Amino acid sequence: MNSPAQTNIAPVVELKGVTRSFEQGGVTIEVLRGVDLEVQPGEIVALLGPSGSGKSTMLQAIGLLEGGFGGHIGIAGTAAEKVDAAGRTALRRDHLGFVYQFHHLLPDFNAMENVMMPQLVLGKSDGEAADRARELLQALGLGARLDHRPSQLSGGEQQRVAVARALANRPELVLADEPTGNLDEHTSDKVLEEFLRLVRGEGSAALVATHNERLAAKMDRVVRLHEGKLD
Query: By C-beta, is 68 or 77 nearer to ligand ATP?
Result: 68
When asked if residue 212 is in the footprint of ligand ATP (CB under 6 A), the reply is: no
When asked if residue 37 is in the footprint of ligand ATP (CB under 6 A), the reply is: no
CB of 204 to ligand ATP, least distance (A): 22
DSSP SS3 for 201: helix
CB of 209 to ligand ATP, least distance (A): 6
Q: Which residues, in sequence order, are CB contacts of 218 under 8 Å at separation 6+?
A: 192, 193, 196
When asked if residue 22 is in the footprint of ligand ATP (CB under 6 A), the reply is: yes
**What's the CA gap between 115 and 109, in Å, rounded?**
10
Binding mask 45-84 for ligand ATP (x = CB under 6 A): ----x-xxxxxxx---------------------------
**What's the CA gap between 19 and 34, in Å, rounded?**
5
Binding mask 128-147 for ligand ATP (x = CB under 6 A): --------------------
Concatenating the DSSP letter of every residue in 89-124 gives HHHHHHHEEEE-SS----TTS-HHHHHHHHHHHTT-
Helices of type H across the chain = 55-63, 85-95, 111-121, 126-139, 155-167, 185-202, 213-216
Report the residue from 31, 37, 105, 230 that binds ligand ATP according to the rule CB under 6 A.
Answer: 31
Concatenating the DSSP letter of every residue in 212-224 gives -HHHHTTSSEEEE
Query: By C-beta, is 72 or 224 nearer to ligand ATP?
Result: 224
**In this structure, what are the phi and psi dihedrals at residue 191, rounded to the nearest 5 degrees?**
-65, -40
Half-sphere exposure of 126 (CA within 13 A, CB side): 0
CB of 168 to ligand ATP, least distance (A): 25
When asked if residue 24 is in the footprint of ligand ATP (CB under 6 A), the reply is: yes
CB of 104 to ligand ATP, least distance (A): 16
Residues forming contacts to ligand ATP in the complex (CB under 6 A) are 22, 24, 29, 31, 49, 51-57
